[in-house]
Structure 1
Amino acid sequence: MVSSSTTISVSCASKKSRSPKPQKKITVKVKTQQGGEEDVYKLGYGTHLNKLMQAYCTKRNLDEGTVRFIFGKKQLKPRSTPAQLKMKEGDVIDIVTDQDGA
């Protein structure tokens, strides 16, 4: 199965710095538990995960309120970063979508 790859970039340069240091990048996989589909995202180690969450929901045409992102058996918070979570290259974030029985 071929997975798609998306790069997420955010400028983290302060106003004082004219030439920011390149931010370390990490590649993570986002995998649905229902269908096993995988997407690959490359983002800065210090980038808030809300960027990845928004990109995933937009790509899959999902409402952000119906999707939970799970890493290490814990639900991810949008303001978390890969650095805070000590993510490694190739780590997998699981997706769980809430489905109403109505």
Structure 2
Amino acid sequence: MAENGSASPANNDAGGAPEQAQQSEHLNIKVTDSNNEVFFKIKRTTQLKKLMDAFCERQGKTPQSCRFLFDGQRVNPTDNPELLDMQDGDTLEVHQEQIGGC
């Protein structure tokens, strides 16, 4: 009986959990510069370097020439959405990296 009792909740959890885990495991992130918007679907634990490199490759830019911001704070390539507390549908802004001044 213990096997039947434990098997049923496991099956119920397995049936309901993947839907919740799938929704929370992946995020849809919009990456935008002044001209383009690109949408990416990534896992919460994926380093943002993959997303940054993919965006730059699609736009014909070098990663060194771009600055990525989330909520006004610079994003490091080693950061991930979980670390930054990103939610589904959040936006990363891309700006031209500028060094120097007057």
- Structure 2 length as normaliser, TM-score? 0.70
Structure 2 unmatched runs, 5+: 1-20
Structure 1 unmatched runs, 5+: 1-20
Match of 1:29 in 2: 30
Match of 1:80 in 2: 79
Deviations 1:41-90 (A, max 9, x none): 00011000000011011111101110000001111000000000000000
Larger radius of gyration: 2
Distance 1:93 1:86 in 2: 13
SS in 2 for 1:59: helix
Query: In the TM superposition, what is the alpha-carbon distance from 1:98 to its structure 2 partner?
Result: 2.8
Query: In the TM superposition, what is the alpha-carbon distance from 1:97 to its structure 2 partner?
Result: 1.3
Distance 1:75 1:64 in 2: 14
Match of 2:50 in 1: 51
Deviations 1:3-37 (A, max 9, x none): xxxxxxxxxxxxxxxxxx978110000011x32x2
Distance 1:59 1:99 in 2: 21
Query: In the TM superposition, what is the alpha-carbon distance from 1:99 to its structure 2 partner?
Result: 5.7
Match of 2:17 in 1: none
Q: Once the two structures are aligned, what percentage of the paired residues are identical?
A: 27
Distance 2:97 2:83 in 1: 26
Moved over 6 A (4+): none
Root mean square deviation, CA, Å:
2.2
**Greater share of residues in helix:** 2
Match of 1:61 in 2: 60
**Greater share of residues in strand:** 1
